[in-house]
Structure formats: structure tokens, C-alpha cells
Amino acid sequence: MAEAMFYGTRGTPPDTALPQLLDRILARGWRVELRGTDRARMEALDLALWTDGDGFRPHGLAGGPHDALQPVLLTWTPAASGRDCLVLIDGAALAEGEAASAQRVCILFDEDDEAARRTARDQWRAAVAAGVPVRYFVREDGRWTLRSEHPPPR
């Protein structure tokens, strides 16, 4: 069964935390689907990941000839089955049953955006209702701090 990790950023856009989050996931040897809500946004993120001065993150935009080989596949619709980790940004939806096919689902959102917080809360409730263990982290001073988890630790 997958686990869901919620990552809320404060004072900085989620995109600034995304490279570090991807690095941590890739260090596990996992293949990632990074899902947003529209193609134009993912194309811009594709370019940003190639030009980020912080390091190289192997990735590709969905729809290319080598999607199955990409360590990080950028998508805007549910498309890439068999990924170890699904990272949702911009309020991207999690289709029913997807959590069961991944080892981890990560939801990255902007704590300063009321609509983003509301969407994340709805996703949290849906994960808990589905019996998926969830954790919520907040990024403060460049570090992730665990704020809540369900079920609570024993």
C-alpha cells in the first residue's frame, strides 16, 4: 500500500522546493511521475528543470518516444503506470486506485494559497478515507518539518 506525503511551502513558491524533493525521491532509485494540471505549465517546468543550476535531474515530457525510460516523467493527465512515486503539483488530481499502484504519492502545495490548501485538505481526507497512511510536512527555513500524520504514531 502506498503512503501519501503532503508538502506545504510557506513564503516561497512550491517550485523552489521541487528540485530538492525530486533529488530525495531519485536517491531511492525510484521512477517518478510528476503531474501538473496543464501541458503549458509542464513544458515550462521541463525547461526550468533542464536549466536549474542546482544539479541535473534526468527527466522528460510525456508524449516522447522514451517515456518508459524517463526517471522523471512530466505529465498533465494520469498516464504513466508503473511509477514508484507520483508527485502532484498545482492541485493535480489523483485518480481512484492510483495510490495503490505507487509506493508513495507526494502532494506539493503552497501553504500561502487558500485554494491550494483547500485542495490539499480534500486530498488528505480522501487518502485517509481510502486507508492510505498520510504525513504532512511544512517547509520552514529550508527544511521539512513533520506537522501531522494519520494514523498517529503509536
Angle at CA of residue 54, ends 59 and 57, nearest 5°: 15
Query: For position 38, which CATH number holds?
Result: 3.40.50.10110
Using alpha carbons, list the distances in angstroms from residue 108 to 9, 55, 114, 154.
Answer: 8, 20, 14, 26
Domain that holds residue 144: 3-150
Nearest one of 137, 153, 151, 147 to 20, comparing CA atoms: 137
- Give residue 76's pLDDT: 94
How many alpha carbons fall within 13 Å on the CB side of residue 77?
3
Structural domain count of the chain: 1
Alpha carbon distance 114, 91 (integer Å): 12
- The top-scoring range by mean pLDDT among 88-92, 94-98, 129-133 is 88-92
Q: Is the pLDDT of residue 123 over 70?
A: yes
Residue type at position 131? G
- Give residue 9's pLDDT: 94
- What's this model's pTM, rounded to 2 decimal places? 0.93
